Structure 1
Amino acid sequence: MSSTRTTKRRRAILAAGSVLTMTALAACSSVDEGGSGDGAGVTVQSLKDAGTVKVAFNGEKPYSYTDENGELTGATIALDKKIFGELGVDDVEGTETEWNSLIPGLTAGHYDTVSAGMSILPDRCEQAAFALPTIMYTTAFLVPEGNPDNLTDWQSAVDAGVKLAVTSGAIEDGYAQQTDVETITVGSSQDGLDAVASGRADAFALTGISIRSLAEGTDKPVEATDAFVATIDGVPQIGAGAEVFRKGDTELLDAYNEKLKPIVEDKDAWLEIMEPFGFTEAEFPPDGLTADMLCEGDLKKISDELGLDS
C-alpha cells in the first residue's frame, strides 16, 4: 500500500470516528471468512472473471506435462479442461513445479489447483483438500534392459538391496523410507530415467502407468517391470490420486466434484478422457472409495471394505 493511500485512509478514519473504524474492521473480517483464513478464497466466479484457472503440474507423463510443441497436455489436464470448461472457465494455464513444492506453492497462492494425479495421503490431507479419487495407483520399476536384479514387487527390491531413484516427496519415497531401501531423490520422471540409464540408480520406482510411459517413450536401454500393488508390513498400499485444492476453497472444490462425480461413476465416460493417455480399466477408481477414507490412512480397512485384492 502506498504512503498516499495510507494517509488518505487515516484521514478518513479520523474524520468519521470510531464507528467507521469498526465498520472497516468488520469488512476485513468478512473478507477473511470468505477464504481459508490463510489468504485463500478462489471461487468459480473469480476464475470465470479471470477467464483462466492456474494449475501446477510436475511434468510427469501421462498425467500432466508439456508436449514437443510446448502445449500443456496429459490426462489430468484433459480432465481439468473438461470440468473447468463446464464451470465456465475455458483456459487452463500450467506452472511446472517440483513435486515437493506442489502443495507449498498451492497454499502460498501461486496457483489455483494442483493437477498432477497426486496421491491422497494423510499428511497431505492436513495441508490441502483433495477432490474425489480419480486415478487408482499401482507401482512399477524402470530397470536396465534384462532386469538384472529381477525386480518383481517391492519386497524384491528390499531383498536385492538395490539403490532406487524416487521422486522427492512422492509415495514411493515413503515406501523406501518405511522399508530402509537406499534411495537417491530426483526432481522429475526424466531425472529418474536418466539416473537408471547412467547407472546412478539400479531402478526408478514410480506409478505403473508413468513407468510404462517412460519406457515406451525412450530409446535408452531400459524397460518397465509389470505393475504391482506394493505391500508394506503385510498391508496392501492402496492408493488413488486426485486434483488438489486449498483447504479454504471449499466452494471451488465442491463445484469441481459435482462435475467430476458422473465421470468417476461411469467407466466409459472416464475412459473417454483417460484412455488416450494410456490409462486402462485397472486405474479406474472403485465404487465407494472416498478421499476421506484415504485421508484417514487405514489401508487395511479400505481393502476389507471395498474387497480390493492385494
Structure 2
Amino acid sequence: MTTTAQRRARRIAPLATIAALALTLAACADEGESADRGGGGDDGDASGGSGATLTLEDLQEAGSITVGFAGEAPYSFMEDGELTGATVALHEAVWAELGVDTVEGQQAEFGQLIQALTAERFDVVAAGMSILPERCEQAIFSDPEFQYTTALMVPEGNPDGLEPSMQSVEESDVQMAAMTGAIEATYAADLGIDAMEVGTPQDGMDAVVNGRADVFALTGISLNWMADNNPDAPIEVTESFVAEIDGVEQVGAGGTVFRNADTELRDAYNEVLAEIVGDEERYLEIVGDFGFTAEERPTGDLTTEQLCAGDI
C-alpha cells in the first residue's frame, strides 16, 4: 500500500496553466497536432477528435500521463508551486498501481476541461467533475470517486438569512455566484436564478467578500475547505444539503473523464479505483488529509450508467 509519505514524495509535476484556452483550442485542433505517445495507430495520435485510442500500454511505455485539473481546493490546487489535492492523490495512487510512474498536471478553468480533453491538451480530466447526462454526451466517465452535497457561502452573520437550500436562494432577492461549468450553475439555471458565473472558487469567495454577490454556491467540501483556510475572511458556510429540483433530489457523484475512444483505459482505471473505494480505510488514507470523510466515499448505490442516463 502506498503511504502518505510516499504519495507526497511523488508530487505531480505541474505544467504551465492553460491561459486563454478558449482562444487556442480551435486552432490546435485544426493543426491535427499529435500527442507525444501513440494510441492505436502508427501516427502516434492520442485519442480525441482523431478517433485514435490511448491505451494503458502506451502510458506504461511512456512512463507518464498528463492529467487535466481545475484549481478547486481541496480537489486539485496549487500549493508552494506544486499541484496537490484529493483528486491528485487519488490519481497518483491509481496510476502507480497501473505501472505509470509520473503524473503530470495541467491546470485549466473548470468549464474548459472537457473541451481541452477532446482537443488533446491532456490525456484525462481529474477534477471531481459531476457525472451529468450532458457531459456524458461529450466524453466517458470513470466509476464514481466522490459523492457530493452543496453548500452556500454567505457574508459573516448571513445577513439575508439564507437557509441551506437552492430554494432559499430562489425565493430571496439576492445575487448568487456560481462557478462556470459547475453543477450549481445548472441548478441555478433550472430554478430560473440569474447567477453571476465566476472562473474559480477564489473568484466566488472574493465576490461575496467584496459585495458583488450575496451568496456563492458550490460543493460543501470545497466551501468548508476555503473557510477553514481563510479564517480572517468575513464569510461563513451553511450546512451542506442535497439540492432539490422539481421535487427530485439531485444526488450527485464525480469521476475522472476520458475521451470516448479510451474505453479500455477507463476500464483499467476503474479496476484499481474499485479496490480503493471499496476499502474505506485506504480511501480515507488517500483523500482524508484534504477534508474528505466516509460521507464522500461512494457506496455503490449510484452508478455512472444511472448518472449518465439521469436515472436517479
TM-score calculated relative to the size of structure 1: 0.83
Corresponding residue for residue 104 of structure 1? 115
Displaced runs of 4 or more, over 4 A: 28-37
Indicate if the aligned counterparts of 2:64 and 2:103 stay in contact, CA closer than 8 A. yes
State yes or no: 1:257 paired with 2:270. yes
In the TM superposition, residue 29 of structure 1 has moved relative to its aligned partner by 8.3
Corresponding residue for residue 95 of structure 2? 84
In the TM superposition, residue 155 of structure 1 has moved relative to its aligned partner by 1.0
> What does residue range 243-282 of structure 1 map to in structure 2 within 5 Å?
243-282=256-295
Indicate if the aligned counterparts of 1:144 and 1:222 stay in contact, CA closer than 8 A. yes
Question: Matched residues in 2 for 1:161 and 1:40: separation?
Answer: 50
Q: What is the DSSP-based 3-state SS (H/G/I as helix, E as strand, rest coil) of the residue aligned with 1:182?
A: coil
Corresponding residue for residue 60 of structure 2? 48
Q: What is the DSSP-based 3-state SS (H/G/I as helix, E as strand, rest coil) of the residue aligned with 2:257?
A: strand
> What does residue range 157-168 of structure 1 map to in structure 2 within 5 Å?
157-168=169-180
In structure 2, the CA distance between the partners of 1:86 and 1:143, relative to structure 1 (3 Å rule), is same
Indicate if the aligned counterparts of 1:103 and 1:128 stay in contact, CA closer than 8 A. yes
Q: Deviations over 1:244-288 (max 9, x none)?
A: 111101111111001001112222221111111100111111223
Long gaps (5+) in structure 2: 1-39
Question: Matched residues in 2 for 1:36 and 1:76: separation?
Answer: 22
In structure 2, the CA distance between the partners of 1:96 and 1:31, relative to structure 1 (3 Å rule), is closer
Deviates more, 1:48-57 or 1:130-139: 48-57
In the TM superposition, residue 222 of structure 1 has moved relative to its aligned partner by 0.7
Percent identity over the alignment?
52
Q: How many residues align?
A: 271
Corresponding residue for residue 198 of structure 1? 210
Indicate if the aligned counterparts of 1:230 and 1:237 stay in contact, CA closer than 8 A. yes
TM-score calculated relative to the size of structure 2: 0.83
> What does residue range 1-310 of structure 1 map to in structure 2 within 5 Å?
38-67=50-79, 69-151=80-162, 152-218=164-230, 219-299=232-312
Indicate if the aligned counterparts of 1:37 and 1:248 stay in contact, CA closer than 8 A. no
In the TM superposition, residue 34 of structure 1 has moved relative to its aligned partner by 9.8
Question: Matched residues in 1 for 2:46 and 2:147: separation?
Answer: 33
Question: Matched residues in 1 for 2:222 and 2:111: separation?
Answer: 18
Question: Matched residues in 1 for 2:138 and 2:42: separation?
Answer: 23
RMSD: 1.9
Q: Deviations over 1:141-181 (max 9, x none)?
A: 11100111222211111111321110111100000001111
